[in-house]
Structure formats: C-alpha cells, structure tokens
Amino acid sequence: MKKINRKGGISEEIILFIPKILFLTAALFAVVILVKVFIIGVIDVRQPESSILISRLIYSKDGLSYYDNDLKRVYPGVMDLKKFSELSAVNPNSLDTASLSYGSDNPIIAAKIILKQGTGNDITVFYNKQRYEKWEPRVLSTVQGGAGSVKLVEEKKYVLVKNGDKISPAVLEFNVIG
C-alpha cells in the first residue's frame, strides 16, 4: 500500500476498492450457488430396487422361472405352473425365503405377482404379503392427501407357462411397492 500524503487520499483508495469488493462478493455467491446446485440431497432408489427384485424373480433358479434339474439351467421367461401354483397355495410368504430374503421383518420392498393366463385362471403370489397389504392403500390415487412414502412400480412381462409338456402364452404382472 502506498503512503498517502494527502488528506483525501484514504477516501480515494476506499472508493477504488469498492469494485474489487463487489466482484469478490459476486464470485463468492456464484461458488456457493454452484455448490448447492451440484450437491445431491435425496437419491430415490425405489425404481431400480423394484427392477432388481423383478429380475431376480425371473432369472434366478429359486425364482418363478422353470428350472431343469438335469441340465442345471434356468429358462427365463418360461414360468413353471406347478411351482407357481405351489407358491400360491402353500404359504403366502414362501417366496420370501425361497428366492431372496431381506430378513424376517422386511421393511424394504413387497410385491404382488399375478400370472394371467388366457383361460382366466389368474394365479397370485405375494412377496412380503404383510407389508404389501399394509402399504397398498398408501399408493392408491384415491387416498386423501396423496400417496405416502412408498411407490408402486407396475410392470408386465409376456411369458410362456409350462404345464407338464404343454407350453402356453401368458402375462406376468408385477406390482412392486417399495
């Protein structure tokens, strides 16, 4: 800083310093705004989680697809009607332990899987039935106040159904709540 000999010299330097302060303030605000824009506060993983559950149910040997024990091979897209009927008839939560498990008290995800055949014999299987029945009213559009903290993901897959040696087309409908 220069030595100022005049009486008005100090005020002259302060006046010349004002644009520098304004520019510094503007630059600081720009940095703060950019940082706030690029910080991700909430990540919604319900859609990928639902897709992973559907894929695991279709492609795993313990899922819903037909599994050939002799060849040790899963036939994705070919549903075993016998296996599907057993899962539907026995225990509503048998799919929870058979295919994949998030623990005994699963607060993460629930699903209703409906096999719609051309004959009209729809077979329904649940994954985490207690939570599905608890969460289903929250995702309905008729609920006053809107949907709750859960999200419904609906997906349909065209599949083949193997009933003994007979193969017929069907639609596998997933209603996943997470």
Considering the domain architecture, whether residues 50 and 106 belong to the same structural domain is answered as yes
Our separate counts of H helices and E strands in the chain read 5, 6
pLDDT in single tens digits along all 178 residues of the chain: 555 566 655 677 778 888 999 999 999 999 999 998 888 877 878 888 889 989 988 888 888 889 888 998 999 889 888 888 887 777 766 777 666 666 667 778 888 999 998 877 888 888 888 888 888 877 766 655 555 567 888 999 999 999 888 999 999 999 998 8
Q: Are residues 120 and 57 in the same domain?
A: yes
Nearest Cα to Cα of residue 178 among 58, 31, 52 = 52
Q: Is the domain of 51 the same as that of 29?
A: no
Let me know whether 125 and 140 are in one domain: yes
Name the domain count of the chain.
2
Q: Are residues 114 and 147 in the same domain?
A: yes
Q: Hey, what are 157's tokens?
A: 């897959």
Domain that holds residue 125: 46-177
Write out the two tokens for 48: 């990928």
- Same domain as 86, residue 2: no
pTM of the model: 0.72
Whole-number Å distance between alpha carbons of 6 and 34: 44
